[in-house]
Amino acid sequence: MPSKIQKEGPFEGALKQLEKTRKLISLEENIYAQLKAPKRFLQVSIPVRMDNGSVRVFTGYRSQYNDSRGPYKGGIRFHPDVNESEVKALSMWMTWKCAVVGIPLGGGKGGVIVNPRELSVGELERLSRGYIQAVFAFLGPQLDVPAPDVYTDPKIMGWMLDEYEKLLGHHAPGVITGKPLSIGGSAARGYSTAQGGVYVLSNAAAKLKLSKDAKVAIQGFGNAGSNMADLLAKKGYKIVAVSDSKGAIYKAKGLDVAALAAHKQKTGGVANFAGAQKLEDIIGCDCDILVLAALENSVTLENAKSIKAKLVFELANGPVSPGADEVLAGDGVSIIPDILANAGGVAVSYFEQAQNASNYYWTEAEVLQKLEKLMNDAFDAVWERKEKYKTTLRLGAHILAVERVAQAMRDRGLN
Ligand code: GLU
């Protein structure tokens, strides 16, 4: 039976989170009022010529939440479940995420209601270009900078950059991040969400005294989840369970992550991987660390109690519902919140923009060194707020974010 909290859209949940944060800090009413809605919200209709000659009209969104710290920043999601509430929530979380890692960017997010797996490559390219045509006037390296998100990738960013530059009449690589390396992408951006996650997890494991032989389960085997599995396995963690949209598998002795990636490549999913057991439900499986790398509301009031992990790591955005968050906190489960845990992606997006602006490119080692420092500093700042306010890491991260955004607003005279 769906609970009341599940029926409520993600944006309502995000607003409640803000209200909770606000009660703990002193925030002017004038600032709070401005943080309750996106500064601009675009809904567009994108006509796409399909391969069979017909025209299909897709609905797209771009939510520009807050730009007091810098240009709006955030990915574009192609998914059948994209909706207004989700895009708004994601854009608010981008605002907090950029502030948590201290980069000079605001928050935005975009999406198109589509299952890209049902489109041919040509249709997908025309949809990607159509999206840029529809929101062109509202994008720019100093205005709003998209990036990949769920079911979008560097190839799509390449088409989008090309369309933007054609309409503009000159180069502007900093308008979009997560680009292919050949057209201004950054080294390490492809796996930076997971890499940032590994730095954060190492900090958390040290503070929470988790042993290195901890058993890890990973929900989601897309860009973030599969790279996280790979990086953690290389660090010696045992990856005992993995799931994707088509199934879940378990192996107590640990999965061979490279072989699993090859299996997924070949069969389209992680299910039926040789030597692993089929798993009904990854959320409640036997593990010490549960990495959530799929979509919002994967953990809800219905399944929160089944969690056996001591640590829940939010590599996806908003994977734990607000109700489940309280249940887990009550049960003593530590949650590493999304706006810290997965901020490595946007952090390297920022590095990508910096390289584009100076037209001078860094080595992979340079990018990783800068990323590690940035994530360590963010972790320490979040931990400090958690201790100071005697609260959860989630609220510690939100307090830090709102403090930083509010300061920028004050300095602009917006209080
Ligand atoms: N889509 C990623 C996120 O949710 C990356 C955003 C970006 O790089 O702008 O953080």
Burial class (CB in 10 A: 0-12, 13-18, 19+), 20: middle
Place of tokens 């042993």: 211
Of 302, 292, 293, which is closest to residue 327 (Cα–Cα)?
302
pLDDT of 211 reads 83
Apex 218 CA angle, 253 and 99, nearest 5? 140
Which residue among 346, 351, 355, 356 is best mutated to probe the pocket of ligand 1, counting the most ligand atoms within 8 A of its Cβ? 346
- 219: helix, strand or coil: strand
Ligand 1 midpoint to CA 75 (Å): 5
How many Å apart are CA 340 and CA 93, to the nearest integer?
10
Domains and CATH numbers, the chain: 34-174 (3.40.50.10860), 192-341 (3.40.50.720)
Ligand 1 midpoint to CA 10 (Å): 17
Ligand 1 midpoint to CA 315 (Å): 11
CB 76 within 8 A of CB 147: yes
Q: Which of 109, 215, 251, 264 is catalytic?
A: 109
Which residue among 73, 94, 151, 374 is best mutated to probe the pocket of ligand 1, counting the most ligand atoms within 8 A of its Cβ? 94
How many Å apart are CA 36 and CA 59, to the nearest integer?
24
Ligand 1: residues with CB < 6 A are: 73-75, 147, 149, 177, 317, 342, 345-346, 349
Q: What are phi and psi of 64, to 5 degrees?
A: -105, 100
Of 144, 147, 151, 119, which is closest to residue 295 (Cα–Cα)?
151
pLDDT of 332 reads 95
CA-to-CA separations, 15 to 36, 93, 115, 237, 294, in angstroms, rounded: 7, 10, 28, 36, 22
Q: What are phi and psi of 345, to 5 degrees?
A: -65, -55
**Residue type at position 405:** V
How many Å apart are CA 239 and CA 20, to the nearest integer?
35
**Residue type at position 61:** Y
Q: What count of other Cβ atoms lies within 10 Å of the Cβ of residue 26?
A: 7
Active-site annotation holds for 109: yes
Ligand 1 midpoint to CA 148 (Å): 6
User: What letter would DSSP give residue 186?
Assistant: P
Apex 154 CA angle, 150 and 157, nearest 5? 90
The tens-digit pLDDT sequence of the chain (415 residues) is 444 444 578 999 999 999 999 999 989 999 999 999 999 999 999 999 999 999 999 999 999 999 999 999 999 999 999 999 999 999 999 999 999 999 999 999 999 999 999 999 999 999 999 999 999 999 999 999 999 999 999 999 999 999 999 999 999 999 999 999 999 999 999 999 999 999 999 999 999 998 878 999 999 999 999 999 999 999 999 999 999 999 999 999 999 999 999 999 999 999 999 999 999 999 999 999 999 999 999 999 999 999 999 999 999 999 999 999 999 999 999 999 999 999 999 999 999 999 999 999 999 999 999 999 999 999 999 999 999 999 999 999 999 999 999 999 999 999 9
pLDDT of 7 reads 59
Which residue among 349, 353, 371, 375 is best mutated to probe the pocket of ligand 1, counting the most ligand atoms within 8 A of its Cβ? 349
pLDDT of 255 reads 97
Ligand 1 midpoint to CA 77 (Å): 10
Of 372, 338, 387, 388, which is closest to residue 207 (Cα–Cα)?
387
**Residue type at position 318:** G
pLDDT of 2 reads 43
Query: How many contiguous H segments (helices) and E segments (strands) does the chain have?
Result: 14, 13
How many Å apart are CA 208 and CA 381, to the nearest integer?
16
CA-to-CA separations, 51 to 115, 126, 158, 241, 289, in angstroms, rounded: 16, 10, 21, 40, 45
Q: Which atom of ligand 1 lies closest to the CA of 177?
A: 8
pLDDT of 212 reads 76
